[in-house]
Amino acid sequence: MSEPLEAEFIDGYLAEAEEHLASARSNLVAIDEALKKRARSPGPVRNLFRSVHTIKGLSAMVGAEPIVDIAHEMETMLRAADQAGGDLPAHALDLVVKGLQAIEERIRCISRGQTLLPAPGALLEALGSIQIGTLAQQPSRALSLAAELLAKLSAGEQEQLLDGLSRGRRALRVDFVPSQARTAAGLNITRVREQMAAIAEIVKVTPFTQPPVDGAPGKVAFALLVLTDADDAALANAAGAAPSELQPIVALGAEPNEAGEAGEVAWAASDREERNYVRVEVSRLDDALERLAALVVTRSRLERAASALGQNKAARELYGIVAEQRRQLRDLRAAIMRARMVPVAEVLARTPLLVRGLTRSSQKLARLDIDAGQSELDKAVADRLFPAIVHLLRNAVDHAIEAPAERRRKGKPEEGRLRVSCAERSGTQLTLEVSDDGRGIDRESVARRAGAPVPRDEIELLALVTRPGLSTLDQATHVSGRGLGMDIVKRIVVDELGGKLQLWTVPDQGTRFTLTVPLSVTVLDAFSFSCAERTFAIPVGAVEALAEVEPQHVSAAPNPGSLPSSARLLEHRGASVPLLRMSALLGLREQSHARSQAILMRRRDQLLAFEVDHLLGQQEIVVRPLKDPLVSIEGVTGSTDLGDGLPTLVLDPLLLLQRREEPEMAGS
């Protein structure tokens, strides 16, 4: 950049640019879907053009000339595509994707305070060499609009209206005439546009002059051309007009072309509520959460002090105050966490373009379906999780999805299917699945590569494929094959986020990875318990049930199988559940107790019980990660302070068990 800029100005630029990048990615996906159907996409092309145009203007304001140069060439090409009725060829779309990636890379340089990379000359030359032919001045069908208004519409805007009509949507002209009364009521053209955009797809807003009436001078009015499914009452209310003033727009002339010729693609702006937003830096939310974490620890200390006062009147009053503070802190925690949440669909918005690039470079055919619903995730968790999803999708395209010829031989469609879906569990965890319909994982091949016995089940197979450095490809490709990927996924999901990673695979049917992660990794509910005179904690969301361990309900395990030889059986609700001593998993000295408790957790479809000395209770805890590799142990997800000023380890017993099983498997 030419000269240093105020930090506040850069922050505003980055926020604005990210919004338009997200919109651009969404429109690129829509255009790609249209190309697969050999159809035009006038709406997405125009929206993409507007996003790139805005990014260009914003970048010019902060002196980011390389971004301006890239956006300018993209803008020129997209303007031609818009004038051609939304006709953007596949080779041109490839260059737009590369251009957007180049812009993103340089915006990241700005956000990190790094030197801005120059615009890639080869990309600029390629963008400038694209020639997109324009349509005839008039489409094959005309619109029932006044000639002076029709002349103001580009070919792309006319195609957008015709496209909506062909799909059964209503096309309307809604006029807004400013007046003193409407201004006094707070109704102006800006307000009308906002209200109309919430219930309709605005194609064009253009001013016109009303002729003089009864000696009154002419007025400047605005014609809004929209596509909508809303009723007349809602539209009239949004425009401050009477329903009788709405003017339908219809198509005149020839019928649309039959299938086989370039048609139009379905595209409609999604209905959305009108909301007010305030941009807040993530660092400020991090600071608020940090202060909340300090309050949680202080409250724990207060509860300990109050419990030591006994049962006098003053102490009972203090108990009530502490209980009220606990409720208030939980409400405050919920409010801060809601502010930190981002839609999972927004996190996954970049993955369709990623898959598109991977399939084109590998000469395979694959389609990605995303089902994120309304799920949300803490921003910090989302940022950590996204690279794991990228690795899984890369592996799916390169390892799992077969080439079109191979899929034909197997009786499969040439186009492979990838799917990412997610759902919240019990309000504290998110389960995300990444699946494909490819060749599945060859257990014998993986075992040969790893120099290990053939896995007996998916648990052992997952342990092999997540070994660092393991690759099943003989030759590295642009996508994978260098022994990186699955070990990174495991490190992110299990070690960093304290979640679970599971695998399902069937030859020639496909593979599914299930990632279960906490919605937040900072403040959460946990059970505390004692074991060998030490205190530990375990997240509530990971616990299936709690139980008393009574001697008459415990028996020896006749065949522990893959469990440690010290495993016993606990009778729980009419079933026999493997019972393991937590002290043995932790390598601590065992102590005998007349009565102990068990924490029940589920591994895949199997319920396991972990015996502890005493359950101490449930409370909110603040989890601090163990970043030092000298103290980082698989199965210990972090540490916390329960109010006594001493560090308490937060455990994942299932990982502790897996850590113990691996040496036993290697020695068998």
Taking residues 129-151, what's their average pLDDT? 66
Taking residues 405-417, what's their average pLDDT? 91
CA distance 516 to 430: 6
The fold of 523-667 is: OB fold (Dihydrolipoamide Acetyltransferase, E2P) (2.40.50)
- What pLDDT sits at residue 330? 81
CA distance 488 to 466: 8
Residue 462: pLDDT above 50? yes
- The winner for highest mean pLDDT among 312-326, 504-518, 556-570 is 504-518
**How high is the mean pLDDT of the chain?**
79
- What pLDDT sits at residue 610? 93
CA 466, 499, 485: angle at the middle one, nearest 5? 30
DSSP 430-474: EEEEEEE-S----HHHHHHHHTSPPPSSHHHHHHHHTSTT----S
Beta strands 534-539 and 647-651: pairing type?
parallel
Taking residues 462-489, what's their average pLDDT? 63
Where residue 357 falls among pLDDT bands split at 50, 70, 90? Answer: confident
Residue 573: pLDDT above 60? yes
By the 8 A CB rule, do 661 and 561 touch? no
Taking residues 202-207, what's their average pLDDT? 83
Beta strands 416-425 and 366-371: pairing type?
parallel
- Can you state the percent helix, strand and coil of the chain, rounding each to 5? 45, 25, 30
- 518-to-297, 569, 615, 646, 652 alpha-carbon distances in Å: 20, 30, 22, 25, 13
| 658 vs 20, more confident | 20
- What pLDDT sits at residue 435? 93
- The winner for highest mean pLDDT among 140-144, 214-218, 373-377, 503-507 is 503-507
| 278 vs 188, more confident | 188
Q: Tell which CATH architecture fits domain 141-264.
A: 2-Layer Sandwich (3.30)
By the 8 A CB rule, do 541 and 524 touch? yes
Torsions phi, psi for 182 (to 5 deg): -70, -40
Taking residues 416-433, what's their average pLDDT? 82
Q: CB count, 10 Å around CB of 424? A: 16
Q: Quick one: 7-129 is in which CATH superfamily?
A: HPT domain (1.20.120.160)
- What pLDDT sits at residue 304? 78
Where residue 484 falls among pLDDT bands split at 50, 70, 90? Answer: very low
| CA neighbor of 208 nearest in space, from 247, 170, 234 | 247
Condensed to tens digits (0 to 9), the pLDDT of residues 299-329 reads: 878 887 887 777 777 777 888 888 888 888 8
> Could you tell me the two tokens for 152?
């103001």
CATH number of 343-417+443-492: 3.30.565.10
- 561-to-457, 566, 568 alpha-carbon distances in Å: 12, 11, 12
Residue 471: pLDDT above 70? no
Taking residues 560-587, what's their average pLDDT? 81
CA distance 277 to 236: 26
CA distance 152 to 505: 57
Where residue 2 falls among pLDDT bands split at 50, 70, 90? Answer: very low
Taking residues 626-648, what's their average pLDDT? 74
What is the percent of the chain where pLDDT is above 90? Answer: 8
- What pLDDT sits at residue 612? 92
Return the sign of the alpha-carbon dihedral for residues 445, 450, 453, 454.
negative
Q: At what angle do helices 65-83 and 42-62 cross, to 10 degrees?
A: 160
Q: CB count, 10 Å around CB of 409? A: 10
- What pLDDT sits at residue 572? 87
- What pLDDT sits at residue 29? 86
CA distance 96 to 127: 8
Number of H helices, E strands in the chain: 21, 26
DSSP 642-656: -SSSSEEEEE-HHHH
Residue 391: pLDDT above 60? yes
Where residue 88 falls among pLDDT bands split at 50, 70, 90? Answer: confident
- Residues in CB range of 593: below 8 A, 6 or more apart: 613, 614
| 558 vs 273, more confident | 558
- What pLDDT sits at residue 136? 41
By the 8 A CB rule, do 361 and 94 touch? no
| CA neighbor of 619 nearest in space, from 259, 202, 151, 303 | 303
Locate tokens 């890639």: which residue?
120
Return the SS3 of 200.
Answer: strand
Condensed to tens digits (0 to 9), the pLDDT of residues 515-524 reads: 988 877 677 7
Q: CB count, 10 Å around CB of 276? A: 4
Condensed to tens digits (0 to 9), the pLDDT of residues 48-68 reads: 888 888 888 888 777 788 888
Return the sign of the alpha-carbon dihedral for residues 160, 126, 120, 60.
negative
Per-domain boundaries in the chain: 7-129, 141-264, 343-417+443-492, 523-667
Burial 142-161 (b: 16+ CB within 10 A, else e): ebebeeebeeebbbbbbbbb
Taking residues 402-412, what's their average pLDDT? 91
- 476-to-473, 482, 483 alpha-carbon distances in Å: 7, 6, 9
Reported residue count of the chain is 668
H/E element, 280: none
- 135-to-86, 87, 151, 538 alpha-carbon distances in Å: 10, 9, 15, 65
